[in-house]
Every structure is written in C-alpha cells, then in structure tokens.
C-alpha cells in the first residue's frame, strides 16, 4: 500500500506535545488491525491527545470528570467518497504510559491495546454488555504478528 493511499484511509493527528508520534506506524497498525477484522477498505481517524483534553472530552460526552485513556466516536453510517468511515478514536499516550507503569506492562503495548480497543468500539463491540466477546477478541488480536512486531507508534521514553 502506498503511503498516500494509507493516509487517505487512516488519518492520524497528534494533538499533544509530550510524546513524539509516528503517524505512518500508527496508520500501518490501524490498517493491519482493520484487515485482520475483515474491514480492510474502511476509513478511521485517530487523534493522540493530552490528559487535559481527554478529561474535557470524557466530561462532555460521558459526564465523567476524569482523564480517560481512550474514547471512540462513531458518527453512524458515513462514507468518505466510496469508503465507509468508522469514526474517530482519541487516545492519550500520557495515560497509556501511566497505566503501563502501574500494570508493569510495556508502554508501546498499552498504546497498541488502547488503539485496538477504540477501533473495536467503532466496529460495534461493547465490553460492558457483550459477556467477554470483546476481551477475547482483543486477547486473540494481541498475539498476532502486526501487534507484536510492528514499528513503534510513538517514542514513549519521555518528553520531546
């Protein structure tokens, strides 16, 4: 896939300053994930945001006054040109790093899990109501090659 084709389907924006994001790696990860989920020709938007933004969005849309790790916004059945648009995933690298330290996990793994989690929500999965179906799918996907051995999505070692 050509980078131009990739970026026309997977839009990645970095709206935070703490960590350097590799837009191409994030787009490649999303494309591989969507292909694994049998949605190779869909469009998604990914936004990396800071903790303050995540708190404001969580307060506004979920009425929960704390900074959350990932939010998904589905805009119903939409198309961009001929391509179905799933919606937007907003996630915080800052919170991913914090959670990785808390759970003794690798920050890159946590960031990938959050991105996967957000995209699964856009595809209609809901861990609060599905009797574990989403969690089982996440576990299965996290053992796939694209999840384990892709290029880093971000430089999560510290401030820029």
CATH architecture for segment(s) 3-148: 3-Layer(aba) Sandwich (3.40)
Query: Tokens in use for 4?
Result: 């131009």
Query: Sign (positive/negative) of CA torsion 31, 137, 39, 127?
Result: negative
Query: CA-to-CA distance for 39 and 88, rounded, in angstroms?
Result: 15
**For residues 78, 83, 86 and 91, what is the CA-based torsion angle, rounded to 10 degrees?**
-130
Residue ranges, the chain, pLDDT below 70: 1-4, 7, 158-160
Query: CA-to-CA distance for 54 and 150, rounded, in angstroms?
Result: 26
Query: CA-to-CA distance for 6 and 3, rounded, in angstroms?
Result: 5
Domains of the chain by residue range = 3-148
Nearest to 29 by CA among 99, 143, 112: 112
Query: Tokens in use for 90?
Result: 């907003």
CA-to-CA dists, residue 58 to 11, 73, 79, angstroms: 22, 11, 26
pLDDT digits (tens, 9 = 90+) for 105-145: 999 999 999 999 999 999 999 988 888 899 999 999 999 99
93 neighbors 48 (Cβ within 8 angstroms)? yes
> What is the pLDDT, as a whole number, of residue 157?
81
Nearest to 119 by CA among 103, 137, 106: 137
> What is the pLDDT, as a whole number, of residue 158?
65
């Amino acid at each position: 896939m050509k980078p131009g084709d990739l970026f026309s389907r997977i839009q990645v924006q970095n709206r935070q300053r703490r960590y350097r994001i590799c837009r191409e790696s994030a787009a490649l990860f999303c494309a591989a994930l969507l292909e694994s989920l049998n949605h190779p020709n869909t469009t998604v938007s990914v936004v990396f945001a800071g903790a303050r933004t995540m708190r404001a969005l969580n307060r506004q849309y979920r009425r929960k006054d704390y900074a959350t790790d990932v939010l998904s916004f589905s805009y119903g059945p939409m198309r961009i040109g001929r391509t179905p648009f799933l919606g937007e995933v907003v996630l915080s690298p800052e919170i991913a790093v914090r959670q990785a330290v808390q759970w003794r996990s690798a920050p890159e793994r946590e960031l990938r899990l959050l991105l996967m989690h957000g995209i699964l929500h856009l595809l209609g999965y809901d861990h609060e109501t599905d009797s574990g179906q989403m969690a089982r799918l996440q576990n299965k996907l996290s053992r796939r090659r694209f999840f384990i051995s892709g290029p880093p999505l971000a430089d999560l070692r510290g401030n820029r």
